[in-house]
Amino acid sequence: MALVTYIEHNGTEHKVDVANGDSVMQGAINNAIEGIVAECGGGLACATCVCFVDAAWTDKVDAPSEAETQMLDFSPNGGSPGSRLSCQISINDKLDGLVVRLPASQF
């Protein structure tokens, strides 16, 4: 389990425990955190779960796959520093303390 801090666009912070193996997206959905739409439910098909990994954590999360990078290219938020699809970040013990910021809109 890892403590993940989600920061909404308006600055509201949510610190939640996310189970190992769950995605950052699942953690947000399970805790009713605003800002992640997740239309495809984590199927890497919609890019409506973009988050921005805090700079201190970018080297600690696994690198994005080619498929994720291509999806980010089609997202209005995909070109921002630290952009990731939250459905593709799997929680593990090394991500305890992870901080992600959420965009104003996924569209």
Q: What is the per-residue pLDDT across 33-66, written as a single tens digit (0 to 9) for each?
A: 999 999 999 999 999 999 999 999 999 999 999 9
CA distance 15 to 17: 7
Q: Based on the number of CB atoms within 10 Å of its own CB, is 32 exposed (0-12), middle (13-18) or buried (19 or more)?
A: exposed
Q: Give the pTM.
A: 0.95
Instruction: Enter the tokens of residue 86.
Output: 């939250």
pLDDT of residue 79 exceeding 90, the answer is no
Question: What pLDDT score does 71 carry?
Answer: 94
Helices (H), the chain: 24-30, 66-73
pLDDT of residue 107 exceeding 90, the answer is no
Query: Which domains occur in the chain, in start order?
Result: 2-101 (3.10.20.30)
Local structure of 33: helix, strand or coil: coil
Work out whether strand 99-101 and strand 50-53 pair parallel, antiparallel, or are unpaired: antiparallel
pLDDT of residue 10 exceeding 90, the answer is yes
Percent of the chain residues past pLDDT 90, beyond the cut: 94
Question: What pLDDT score does 43 carry?
Answer: 94
What's the full length of the chain, in residues? 107
Segment 23-39 mean pLDDT: 96
